Structure formats: C-alpha cells, structure tokens
Amino acid sequence: MASGHHQTDVVIVGAGPVGLFTVFECGMVRLDCHVVDVLDDAGGQCTALYPEKPIYDIPGFPKVDAAELIVRLKAQAAAFKPVYHLGEQVQSLEALSGGFWKLTTAKGTVLQARAVIVAAGVGAFGPNRPPLEGIEAFEGRSVFYYVTQRENFRDKRVVIAGGGDSAVDWALSLAEIAARVSVIHRRDRFRAAPDSEARLKALAAEGRIDLVVPYQLHSLDGAGGQITAVNVATLDGVEKKIPADVLLPFFGLSMSLGPIADWGLALDRSQLAVDPATMATSRPGIFAVGDIVAYPGKLKLILTGFAEAAIAARSAYALIHPETPLHFEYSTTAGVPGA
C-alpha cells in the first residue's frame, strides 16, 4: 500500500493474529481500519517464527498450522476491507486537536484516527545473533534464524546451535529429511521439554543426529554467501570442523517495545498496562490487545488476544460514537458484508 496521508476510524499497530482479528471485530461494529506492520507479511509471530508448526488450542480447530491460521484470519478480516501498510514501522504517536491521533511511520506515511489499537505483540523482535565474524554475509543464504520452510533443508548438512526448545525441536524434525544434523551446545544438558531432550539423545545414540557438546560456535568457512563448514571450540580451546551447508543458530529472540516505549503509555514491566474491562491504556483513545498487554491474569495466548480484540473494538466504538450507544448484536444476527 502506498505511503501518504490517510484518515480512518481506527489504526491498528501490528498485523499479527490478534491485530488481524481486531480488524474483524472493528468491522462488526462498523469501524474502518488501517493496519500497519513493520514486517513485509501479515501474521506476526505465526508467520515469522513458526509458520509450519501446528497450533492445537484455537477453538474449533483441533489442529491448524500457524500459516494457515493467518490465511483464514486475513480472509475473515477481508469482508471489512482493511487497508494494510506492510513493511512500515510506526514510529511516532502524537495527539492532535479534536480528539484525533496522528501516527507516522518510518517511511513517512501519516495516519490519522480517532482511536488506535496497539497489537504490537512482543514489539520489535529479532534473533539474538551469535558473535561470529562475517556472519552477515551468510545470513539469509546459508545461515537462518527461523525455519519458514522445512523442505528447504532436505538432503542438506545442517548444523543447529543452541540448547532450547527451538534447537531441539528442529533437530528432531530436520533429522527426518536432512542429509546430516549436528547439534552444537555448550553443555550436555538442554533447556528443552524433557520428552524432546530424551528423543534427541535417543536419535544421537542411534547415530542419526550428531551431538557436539560441550562446544560453542567459533567461526565459519565459506564464500559467496555459502558456508562450507562450521568451526566449533570447547572452553579449553579444543577446535573441531563440521562440514555443513546450513547453520541454524537458535539463541532466542531479542525483544523490545521499540518506538512504542516513547509514546507516553503506562508500562507494566516492558508491556502496556491496560484495564482488561476496556483494553484502554493510560492515554484516552489508545487501546492495546494481544501479547503486548499486561493485566492481572493475562495469558499470552492467541485465543485470549481474540477476546481482547472484541472488547477493544467496542471500547473504540464508544469513544468514536458517544452519541449512539452500541446495540449489542451477535454475528449470527448482524452478518458480515458479502457473506
């Protein structure tokens, strides 16, 4: 969507699962939305971090892949014709006269609205990078921080570094299709689910996974974006070379609120403090939903975020149309456009 100057009822910051469902809930109370996300695709953590993982706790779906859930949420929101601004980070939030808010993105897009619903999840997130000299030259070509398509690793020699759930889960999964999987960890003990760790060690005992412990990443060999080997070392400096096509470092995510921290909103540790009865933040007209919020009993689950979206949309409606109280209707009565 082009940059420029836009006016709408509600700006939603973040097109993760909760932001997408917020579009739907706003639509149900006849509020138009623009949605902004810094990533190039909608879907938040579901798309960026685990598109091929099945989710089991979405009501009505015994099992749904994260990417599939996003496709369905976008389809559900489409009835209300949201305008997406993808690949744009919202940087500033400014109060205008007349109860309007002005948001400006890093690319200069200006959005003006009566209400803002912040659905920014964990804020600005990115992988923790291992401090290896020259690693940038291989990133996105033979060094990956997320697995978006498992098939890309078929018949490859894969080196996985890390000791948490992602490292162990992907080692187990890729061992089924890769030519070789080596797992490097600085300790013999893993921080993964005990059952997964047991399966990892069983596959290692069968010779189907190489456990390279206790070692740490030391350097990379390769050229033109393609690694040829991962060099590892013990704390005592004993080195070892592992021939490899791909390195997957899984050292967790660095998360920060990013520019949102400067919007003058009350925080509860590094999350936005909200009143769960309305999803209102400390600034009137700014609401928040999903992983970014904190209140007593908050569960960081997609389904909780969906319920928060319904509450926030009704609160935004009450702010924008104080003269016409909302008549509560079920979707079975109200219907949706085009259905």
Is the C-alpha dihedral spanning 92, 146, 252, 23 positive or negative? positive
Q: Which of residues 123-162 bind ligand FAD (CB under 6 A)?
A: 123-124
Pick between residue 157 and residue 271 the one whose CB is nearest to ligand FAD: 271
Cα–Cα distance between 243 and 241 in angstroms, integer?
Answer: 6
Q: How far apart are the first and last CA of the chain?
A: 26
**CA 155, 161, 165 angle in degrees (round to 5)?**
95
Return the structure tokens found at 313: 């949309």
- Shortest distance in whole angstroms from residue 222 CB to ligand FAD: 28
The 3-state DSSP class for residue 52 equals coil
- Number of other CB atoms surrounding residue 42 within 10 Å: 24
- Shortest distance in whole angstroms from residue 58 CB to ligand FAD: 7
93 binds ligand FAD (CB under 6 A): no
- Shortest distance in whole angstroms from residue 191 CB to ligand FAD: 14
Phi, psi values for residue 19, rounded to 5°: -60, -40
Cα–Cα distance between 303 and 299 in angstroms, integer?
Answer: 9
Number of chain positions touching ligand FAD (CB under 6 A): 36
Among 302, 309, 312, 316, binds ligand FAD (CB under 6 A): 302
Among 29, 93, 122, 168, binds ligand FAD (CB under 6 A): 122
| Residue with token string 């080692």 | 171
- Shortest distance in whole angstroms from residue 269 CB to ligand FAD: 16
Sheet containing 226-233, strands listed edge to edge, beginning at the edge strand earlier in sequence: 216-223, 226-233, 239-243
Region from 120-128, 187-195, 236-244, 265-273 binding ligand FAD, contact rule CB under 6 A: 120-128
Region from 23-31, 116-124, 153-161, 329-337 binding ligand FAD, contact rule CB under 6 A: 116-124
Region from 9-17, 67-75, 183-191, 262-270 binding ligand FAD, contact rule CB under 6 A: 9-17
- Respond yes or no on whether the N-terminal peptide bond of residue 214 is cis (omega within 30° of 0): yes
- Are the CB atoms for 329 and 38 separated by under 8 Å? no
- Shortest distance in whole angstroms from residue 289 CB to ligand FAD: 7
Pick between residue 119 and residue 161 the one whose CB is nearest to ligand FAD: 119
90 binds ligand FAD (CB under 6 A): yes
Q: Which of residues 13-72 bind ligand FAD (CB under 6 A)?
A: 13-19, 36-39, 44-46, 49-50, 55, 57
260 binds ligand FAD (CB under 6 A): yes
- Shortest distance in whole angstroms from residue 63 CB to ligand FAD: 10
Cα–Cα distance between 177 and 208 in angstroms, integer?
Answer: 11
- Shortest distance in whole angstroms from residue 180 CB to ligand FAD: 24
Cα–Cα distance between 337 and 135 in angstroms, integer?
Answer: 50
- What is the length of the chain? 339
Binding interface with ligand FAD (CB under 6 A): 13-19, 36-39, 44-46, 49-50, 55, 57, 89-90, 119-124, 258-260, 290-291, 300-303, 305
